[in-house]
Structure 1
Amino acid sequence: PKGHGELVFYNLRLGLAEDALVETRSRHEINLLRDYDARPGAQTQEARTLWVVDRAFIDAAFWDRKKRTQGSTLITRMKSNLVVDSRAAMPHCQDTGERRGAAR
Structure 2
Amino acid sequence: MDPLAMMFEASGLSAVRVPTMLYRPRDDSYLGSARNALGVVSGLPTPPAVHIVPGDHFVFIDPCPASVAASAALICQDAPGIDRVEIHRQIDHEVVEFLRANL
Same fold (TM over 0.5): no
Highest Rg: 1 or 2?
1
Q: Which has the higher contact order (CA 8 A, sep 6+)?
A: 2
Question: TM-score, normalising length from structure 1?
Answer: 0.27
TM-score, normalized by length of structure 2?
0.27
- Greater helix proportion: 2
